[in-house]
């Protein structure tokens, strides 16, 4: 019986060892799966980071190229603006020099008034000599014709009619009778 018990005990131990080894194997498999999944996740993460880095570098190159292009365009615009300003300045200077040349050749009006050369009167003895006009408008001045308003005439006629009728009918002044012992009941009465 002892042998049977030992055999049973040994068999149980064997079974227990088998169970333990099964559980251990399952745990190891589970751990290896988790490690593999973790490794694949890390690998995917690294691949994504590399892709992101590559895309960022491409974007950065593109951005720098756009900025350099923008700066070139701004420089070209600035050069064009400077060229336009220089051209305007040269044109204005040319026009000014031409005006100056023409201004020197134009006849000048008399410095002293007409009839007063060197400050002495040579015209009329009463001294009513005026200098010659420097500019005479060839088109004579014509006043602007404004017709008189019609309403004023009608109003003056109405006023004159009223004044005539008012003179014939004189109205008598209105007299307000107020007894001294009358008490003021209304709010409009005042002493």
Write the DSSP string, 125-179.
TTS---PPPS---SSPP-PPP-PPPHHHHHHHHHHHHHHHHHHHSPPPPP-----
Average pLDDT, the chain: 76
Are 166 and 160 a contacting pair, CB within 8 Å?
no
Distances (CA, A) of 177 to 172, 183, 184, 188: 15, 14, 14, 15
The predicted pLDDT at position 138 comes to 79
Q: Where are the alpha helices (DSSP H) in the chain?
A: 2-105, 150-168
Q: Considering its fold, how many domains does the chain have in total?
A: 1
Within a domain: 62: yes
The predicted pLDDT at position 67 comes to 97
Within a domain: 150: no
Statement: residue 175 has pLDDT above 80: no
Most confident of 22-36, 139-153, 176-190: 22-36
Within a domain: 143: no
The stretch 51-68 carries a mean pLDDT of 97
pTM over 0.75: no
The stretch 71-88 carries a mean pLDDT of 97
Q: Which of 188, 172, 171, 189 is nearest to 180 (CA)?
A: 189
17-33 residue pLDDT tens: 666 788 889 999 999 99
Statement: residue 146 has pLDDT above 60: yes
Q: Is 124 helix (H, G, I), strand (E, B) or coil?
A: coil
Residues spanned by the domain of 71 = 1-80
Within a domain: 57: yes
Within a domain: 11: yes
Within a domain: 112: no
Within a domain: 28: yes
Within a domain: 37: yes
Q: How sure is the predictor about 150, in pLDDT bands with cuts at 50, 70 and 90?
A: confident
């Amino acid at each position: 019986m002892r042998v049977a018990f030992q055999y049973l005990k040994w068999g149980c131990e064997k079974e227990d060892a088998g169970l333990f080894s099964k559980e251990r194997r399952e745990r190891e498999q589970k751990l290896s799966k988790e490690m593999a999944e973790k490794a694949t996740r890390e690998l995917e993460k690294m691949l994504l980071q590399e892709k992101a880095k590559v895309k960022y570098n491409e974007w950065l190159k593109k951005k720098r190229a756009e900025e350099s292009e923008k700066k070139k365009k701004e420089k070209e615009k600035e050069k064009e603006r400077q060229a336009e300003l220089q051209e305007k300045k040269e044109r204005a200077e040319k026009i000014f020099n031409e005006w100056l040349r023409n201004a020197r050749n134009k006849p000048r009006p008399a410095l002293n008034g007409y009839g007063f050369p060197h400050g002495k009167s040579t015209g009329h003895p009463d001294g009513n000599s005026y200098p010659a006009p420097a500019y005479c408008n060839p088109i004579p001045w014509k006043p602007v014709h404004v017709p008189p308003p019609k309403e004023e005439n009608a109003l003056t006629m109405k006023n004159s009619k009223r004044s005539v009728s008012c003179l014939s009918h004189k109205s008598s002044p209105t007299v307000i009778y107020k007894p001294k012992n009358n008490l003021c009941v209304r709010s409009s009465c005042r002493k």
